[in-house]
Amino acid sequence: MAHAQDLRDDKSVEEAYFTLRSKHQIPALGLGTWKAEPNVVRDAVYSAIVENGYRHIDCAHVYGNEKEVGAGLKAAFDAGIKRDDIFVTSKLWIKFTSPEKVKDACQQTLKDLGLTYLDLYLIHWPIYLSEDADSPPKKRQVLPFDVKGVWREMEGLVERKLVRDIGISNFSVPKLEKLMSFASIKPAVNQVEMHPSWRNDNVLAYCNKNNIHVTAYSPLGSSSTDLFDTPEVIEAAEKLGKSPGQILIRWLIQRGVSTIPKSSSDKRIKENMEVFDFSIPAEDMDKLSSISSQVRTNAGEELLVSSEDDKDAILNEFWDGEM
């Protein structure tokens, strides 16, 4: 099977890349690095890029492993991979979502990754916490979030050529509408939780209408969702001779959504890439897209809700009723 780097010129596999509003291309499949241990993520990044053809690496300051991700990138570049062929995403953490902190935070990420620019920089969550905030935070540690001021600074990163594209993560439709009302550089990407048990249909529809590409995190579900045991997933996997994980990844790509499954296993990294040589038939796509139980597994509770708060009220307000 052709690796992702070979797929740009393969007209039969249009899903290998998606085109952003800037006309830059984002690979349909990337390697997520959340919860990847620093002592293994370097080798995972190298293996993904050099041995398995990945061209998108997704990371974030809060993951605590960007220096090691950078070491993996350097090893790949030393092996002959060109920087311009790799799409690197990182994210502005919630303790830096204040206008005066944006540039320094981005420059620290670039230093840690050993890069001169990012392909995509996202506001990780639409909140701002004090730098001494606990997890979860106390009420006094939740500060006013100046989304307009922060976005202006994000736009400045593009102007300084530190970042090629900017976007957001975990933004609901009302929050997207507010951002779109004043953004000079419109967001290129909204990265959100998405899988058959949390389709996020309203966000996807809004983003499609407004030319905001969607990237899915947690594409295989989480410890609280047994997607691999879902009858619809099992049925499609058996019919097509694929693994449940491959079905879940392919479902997203056929929705027009890129995705970033996390893995440190060479076997899983290779398996996740092998999704460009088949399609899920329409009837199975419909079944996967009609699972009645819809549960958001990453509501940000540990970031938003302290013991002083009414959890349901706080989360419902944050997600603008989409729980």
**Is the peptide bond preceding residue 136 cis, with omega within 30 degrees of 0?**
yes
Angle at 291 between CA 177 and CA 246, to 5 degrees: 90
Going from the C-alpha of 284 to that of each of 96, 211, 219, 240, the distances in angstroms are 43, 27, 17, 10
b/e 223-235 (16+ beta carbons within 10 angstroms → b):
eebebeebebbee
Query: Residues forming the annotated binding site?
Result: 124
Dihedral in degrees, nearest 10, Cα atoms 194, 64, 118, 108: 140
Question: How much is the pLDDT for 263?
Answer: 87
Active site residues: 63
Angle at 109 between CA 265 and CA 60, to 5 degrees: 45
Query: Residues forming the annotated binding site for substrate?
Result: 124
Beta pairing, strands 25-27 & 17-19:
antiparallel
- Give, for all 323 residues of the chain, the pLDDT tens digit: 333 333 334 433 345 999 999 999 999 999 999 987 877 999 999 999 999 999 999 999 999 999 999 999 999 999 999 999 999 999 999 999 999 999 999 999 999 999 999 999 999 999 999 999 988 888 889 899 999 999 999 999 999 999 999 999 999 999 999 999 999 999 999 999 999 999 999 999 999 999 999 999 999 987 656 789 899 999 999 999 999 999 999 999 999 999 999 988 899 999 999 999 999 999 999 999 999 989 898 888 888 877 667 788 888 889 998 87
Q: Would you say how long the chain is, in residues? A: 323
Question: How much is the pLDDT for 93?
Answer: 97
Instruction: Report the 10 Å Cβ neighbour count for 146.
Output: 14
Tell which CATH classification among 3.40.50.1100, 2.40.50.100, 3.20.20.100, 1.10.3720.10 matches the domain 4-319. 3.20.20.100
Which residues make Cβ contacts (< 8 Å) with residue 45, sequence separation at least 6? Answer: 31, 33, 57, 69, 72, 73, 75, 76
**Do residues 220 and 198 touch, judged by C-beta distance below 8 A?**
no
Query: Coil, strand or helix: which one is 29?
Result: strand
Question: How much is the pLDDT for 8?
Answer: 35
What is the SS3 assignment for 52-79? CCCCEEECCHHHCCHHHHHHHHHHHHHC
| DSSP label at residue 121 | E
Dihedral in degrees, nearest 10, Cα atoms 236, 219, 257, 165: -160
Query: Coil, strand or helix: which one is 195?
Result: strand
Query: Coil, strand or helix: which one is 34?
Result: coil
Beta pairing, strands 31-32 & 56-58:
parallel
For the chain, which residues make up each domain, given as ranges? Answer: 4-319
Question: How much is the pLDDT for 259?
Answer: 97
